[in-house]
Amino acid sequence: MSLKRMLIGQPIETVQEKHERLSKVTGLAIFSSDNLSSVAYATEEILLALMVAGTALLNYALFIAIAIAALLAIIAISYFQTIHAYPTGGGSYIVAKDNLGTVSGLVAGAALLIDYVLTVAVSITAGIAAVTSAVPSLYEHRVLLCLIAIVILMLGNLRGLREAGKLFALPTYFFIFSLLGLIGVGLFKAFTGAVAPAPLPPITAAVSYVPLLVVLRAFASGCAAVTGIEAVSNGVSAFKPPEARNASMTLLIMAALLGIMFVGTSFLADHFNIIPVENQTVLSLLAATIFSKGVIYYLIQAATALILILAANTSFQDFPRLSSVMAADGFMPRQLGSRGDRLVFSNGIIILGGFAAVLVIVFGGDTHRLIPLYAVGVFLAITLSQAGMVKHWLSNREKHWRRNILINGLGAFTTTIVVIIIVWSKFRDGAWIVVLAIPLIVYLTMQVKRHYDSIARQLSLEGEAPQAEFSHHSVIIPVSGVQRAVVGAVRYAKVLSDDVTAVYVCFDPAATAKVREKWEQYGMGVPLLVLDSPYRSVIEPLMEYIEGVREIHPDGVITVILPEFVPQRWWHHLLHNQTALLIKGILLFKKGVVATSVPLHLRA
């Protein structure tokens, strides 16, 4: 507990929850890091996809970036509508479930959960890629660096929402001002001719290619820039009052910043003929072209690495929040709906970190291997959310409902096309994993719901007649010898019932004789039954005896009292066998049997 307090701080009272909420300034830092960080790799992904055709199609990169910025504007306006329609939190799961049905909601929820895990993995690996671009000697250690970054983010978010905002606000704004400065200086040097564009090197194109297919593939890759746009609508309740207004303003600011930075970096990359090279990101090459490799270059690389790593922070906010909502509906384990000491959903944070760490290890910390899995889930969730909003306006016909249908309908239409393009173009590269994972997660969530519903029916007392008392109470005390813990258990057992039996499993006749002798003195009149065990097992003879007692008293109850001594130091437990723990685990699944521990606390 001392280590826990040192790492995540002292517990926060529930009544302090309203003071843990975010302002627009900290909210932008928390929820925009994922969205804004995509500037660091989205342009690069477009160029990599276009390079299949050599240099022939590279001039399309800027037009693709502008098309994606237009898509961003449509989605941002659509989510602006969603936030005001669902001021308590209009995540895709809630909107789709309320308007399109449970299955649609679960599809949206599953898609987002997958996307949040991928966001952590992609952001962390991209951030470490920025570090290794500046310091190539660290490239061999990229997986270890990724895992360290995940652990740091987990601990930061376990400390609470407000502390996470304070901790991660400075790097986010550092990146924003660094990128705007890069774009501003880059545009100045581009239009004044202070830096001449580099000549395009000869790049061998694929033997045959279809230009339209290459451009569509590049568009699908660049759509990674839009991921994270839904984060604000999922976390409306995290903002200070008025929640909807603060969240919607944060969303618009975030979308505007992303549009400016994405189109700006794409224009500069196009103007200066920047082409991705191995172990060097496009942003790194662009910064080196504009500023040379001096102090400003390394500052931009540092800002990029920080924002990419912190981009995962958005998922550490939204994954636990979405999991808790789905848990409240019975579709996820209930433990995910409980807040921890610092008023955050600690279990969700830890699970997210674990899944992301597995992905980083499996894919070797390589951003480009993870990118094809990315964006499928988020665009599917956005599509379902916008379609749900169309149904919402049609059903409720609130003020300006016709205009709102047009906005959300356009959003649903455009993102549907994007989903089709992304799945089609990236299916063989890894998107098939996500396509298969979504229905699998939907199936598992429905099984969880079915399980909880079954338990609720079985536990319900409705229509149940009062139960009669047990006809008999048998108490059994397994003993390994005669000592203080056993004597304490015997004293307790005699209070519970008149039918008490101590059971000793015999391995050695000489040792058994000594136990019998001491039992005559300390057994307090409780009979001692000795069970033979030719195969040196304690468990099997004991369980056979318990089953025999159940057959004699089928309508009775059996209490198995386990004498246990409890060492003061945690590591002392490693020096003793855990037979009592094993017995309790087995008895848990035996009907009509209750296991009770009687502890004896030892001194150090």
pLDDT at 202: 65
Is residue 1 one of the residues assigned to a domain?
A: no
Q: Say whether both 285 and 325 belong to one domain.
A: yes
pLDDT at 281: 80
Q: How far apart are CA 24 and CA 116, in angstroms?
A: 22
pLDDT at 161: 63
Burial class of 284 by CB neighbour count within 10 A (0 to 12, 13 to 18, 19+): buried
Find the range with the poorest average confidence among 98-107, 212-221, 263-272, 565-574: 565-574
pLDDT at 291 over 70: yes
Average pLDDT over residues 510-516: 91
pTM for this predicted structure: 0.76
Q: Say whether both 417 and 545 belong to one domain.
A: no
Is residue 56 one of the residues assigned to a domain?
A: no
What's the domain count of the chain?
A: 2
pLDDT at 356: 92
Joined tokens for residue 511:
């040792």
Q: Give the confidence band of 171 by pLDDT, cuts at 50, 70, 90.
A: confident
Is residue 194 one of the residues assigned to a domain?
A: yes
**Residue finishing a domain among 425, 453, 481:** 453
pLDDT at 75: 85
Is there a contact between 68 and 342 (Cβ–Cβ < 8 Å)?
no
pLDDT at 102: 93
pLDDT at 15 over 60: no
Q: Give the confidence band of 110 by pLDDT, cuts at 50, 70, 90.
A: very high
Is residue 467 one of the residues assigned to a domain?
A: no
pLDDT in tens, 301-341: 888 888 877 777 778 888 888 898 899 899 999 888 887 76
Average pLDDT over residues 349-357: 92
pLDDT in tens, 263-286: 999 999 999 988 887 767 888 899
Q: Say whether both 481 and 524 belong to one domain.
A: yes
Q: Say whether both 350 and 419 belong to one domain.
A: yes
CATH code of 335's domain: 1.20.1740.10
Q: Give the confidence band of 524 by pLDDT, cuts at 50, 70, 90.
A: very high
Q: How far apart are CA 483 and CA 461, in angstroms?
A: 44
Q: Which of 145, 136, 179 is nearest to 33 (CA)?
A: 179
pLDDT at 315: 84
Q: Say whether both 355 and 234 belong to one domain.
A: yes
pLDDT at 130: 73
Distance of CA 500 to the CA centre of its chain: 50
pLDDT at 14: 55
Cα–Cα distances in angstroms (integers) from residue 588 to residues 470, 474, 499, 546, 578, in the given order:
19, 17, 22, 13, 16
pLDDT at 94 over 60: yes
Across all residues in the chain, what is the average pLDDT?
85
pLDDT at 142 over 80: yes
Is residue 458 one of the residues assigned to a domain?
A: no
Q: Say whether both 155 and 297 belong to one domain.
A: yes
Q: How far apart are CA 96 and CA 86, in angstroms?
A: 12
Average pLDDT over residues 229-256: 86
pLDDT at 226 over 90: no
Is residue 258 one of the residues assigned to a domain?
A: yes
pLDDT at 97: 92
pLDDT in tens, 396-406: 888 778 888 88
Q: Give the confidence band of 518 by pLDDT, cuts at 50, 70, 90.
A: very high
Q: Give the confidence band of 418 by pLDDT, cuts at 50, 70, 90.
A: confident
pLDDT at 188 over 80: yes
Q: Say whether both 390 and 527 belong to one domain.
A: no
**Between 89 and 220, the higher pLDDT residue:** 220
Q: Which of 269, 306, 263, 271 is nearest to 284 (CA)?
A: 269
pLDDT at 396: 84
Most confident of 150-154, 369-373, 447-451: 447-451
**Residue finishing a domain among 422, 453, 484:** 453
Q: Say whether both 518 and 449 belong to one domain.
A: no
pLDDT at 236 over 90: no
Q: Say whether both 501 and 432 belong to one domain.
A: no
Q: Say whether both 404 and 527 belong to one domain.
A: no
Q: Give the confidence band of 201 by pLDDT, cuts at 50, 70, 90.
A: low
Is residue 174 one of the residues assigned to a domain?
A: yes
Q: Say whether both 441 and 583 belong to one domain.
A: no
CATH code of 503's domain: 3.40.50.620
Q: Say whether both 435 and 544 belong to one domain.
A: no
Q: How far apart are CA 217 and CA 21, in angstroms?
A: 40
**Residue finishing a domain among 403, 424, 453:** 453
pLDDT at 304: 85
pLDDT at 200 over 80: no
Helix, strand, coil percent content, the chain, rounded in steps of 5: 70, 5, 20
Is residue 17 one of the residues assigned to a domain?
A: no
The residue segments making up the domain with residue 537 are 473-601
Phi and psi at residue 565, to the nearest 5°? -105, 140
pLDDT at 276: 80
Q: Give the confidence band of 440 by pLDDT, cuts at 50, 70, 90.
A: very high
Find the range with the poorest average confidence among 46-55, 555-564, 578-587: 46-55
